[in-house]
Amino acid sequence: MNIDINSDLGESFGAWKMGDDSAMLDIVSSANVACGFHAGDPAGILKTLKAAAERGVAIGAHVGYRDLAGFGRRNMDPTSEELIGDVIYQIGALQGLAKAAGTRVTYVKPHGALYNTIAIDKRQGKDVIDAILAIDPSLVLMALAGSQLVEQARAASLTVVTEAFADRAYTPEGNLVSRREKGSVLHDPELIAERMVRMVKEGVIEAIDGTLTKVDAQSICVHGDSEGAVAMAKRLREKFEQSGLTIRSFTATA
């Protein structure tokens, strides 16, 4: 039985460092690599891509709003023309760098505010889908499990992979508990690992009210922005391996 682990990488920018890409690349099977709009400078991205290529980690284009100052976390309302152009541009730039690094982009994961927006906003969702179709319809779209985007993208003939968040609490309906609510973020590495093993094997997560909720996810998102986060991701990987699960990307790598 296979499961994919993904994480956001390549998010340094010039003199500013973020995350421990090298450590995370030993843990994950898929790397969501920043494309320069919310984070990532070309030279730094290229370094991360080379390190990912060496380890056979799959590459996703982590496309975001054009907002370095806000790290792509602020809602924006680009026109469709703008959003389509911005997404194609970012994917193309990463494809170019990936080629130079001896690997290739196999999927697209929208970042931050764009990710959250298209989980519910069909217009921007369509823009992202149209952009992917325009540049390469074989690219897989990574989307929030249970979101409207999953159906929207599949209806448009895109291959979709759904993801769950290792450290987040879920509602009885299978949605993420809002970060504004108490208990929305989990901190115990052991508990997190156990929940994720159960989700992979049984397709359920214990919701915040104690009930079981179905979550259908082929990939699990972990973070690498602090020592604690890296340790948590490491523990998850170990637990998966101990449980007989194979950590493997949902796409072939280059």
Stretch that binds a second copy, among 24-32, 33-41, 178-186, 212-220 (CB under 8 A): 33-41
Least CB distance from residue 131 to a second copy, whole Å?
8
Least CB distance from residue 25 to a second copy, whole Å?
19
Identity (one letter) of the amino acid at 203? Answer: G
User: Please, which of residues 126-165 interact with a second copy by CB under 8 A?
Assistant: 131, 134-136
Does residue 115 touch a second copy according to CB under 8 A?
Answer: no
Closer of 68 and 247 to a second copy (Cβ): 68
Radius of gyration of the chain (CA): 17
**In 179-250, at which residue ranges do the beta strands (DSSP E only) sit?**
204-206, 212-214, 219-222, 246-247
- The binder of a second copy chosen from 20, 55, 76, 254 (CB under 8 A): 76
| CA angle, residues 242, 243, 247, in degrees to nearest 5 | 85
CA atoms within 13 A on the CB side of 91: 27
Least CB distance from residue 36 to a second copy, whole Å?
7
Both tokens of residue 166? 């290792």
**In 119-248, at which residue ranges do the beta strands (DSSP E only) sit?**
140-144, 160-165, 204-206, 212-214, 219-222, 246-247
Least CB distance from residue 223 to a second copy, whole Å?
13
Least CB distance from residue 184 to a second copy, whole Å?
19
Closer of 84 and 200 to a second copy (Cβ): 84
Does residue 201 touch a second copy according to CB under 8 A?
Answer: no
- Residue 115: C-alpha distances to residues 73, 106, 163, 200 (Å): 9, 18, 12, 23
Q: Which residues fall within 8 angstroms of residue 16, CB to CB, at 6 or more apart?
A: none
- In this structure, the dihedral spanned by the alpha carbons of residues 82, 85, 90 and 96, taken in order and rounded to 10 degrees, is -160
Stretch that binds a second copy, among 12-20, 24-32, 195-203, 213-221 (CB under 8 A): 12-20
Least CB distance from residue 74 to a second copy, whole Å?
5
- The binder of a second copy chosen from 7, 32, 48, 90 (CB under 8 A): 90
Longest CA–CA separation in the chain, Å: 49
Does residue 198 touch a second copy according to CB under 8 A?
Answer: no
Both tokens of residue 51? 């390190």
Least CB distance from residue 120 to a second copy, whole Å?
15
Selection from 87, 76, 82 nearest residue 35 by Cα: 87
Cβ–Cβ under 8 Å, residues 207 and 171: yes
Closer of 102 and 172 to a second copy (Cβ): 102
Binding-site string for a second copy from residue 39 to residue 68, where x marks contact by CB under 8 A and - marks none: x-xxxxxx-------------------xxx
Residue ranges in contact with a second copy by CB under 8 A: 12-18, 36, 39, 41-46, 66-71, 73-79, 81-82, 84-86, 88-97, 99-100, 131, 134-136
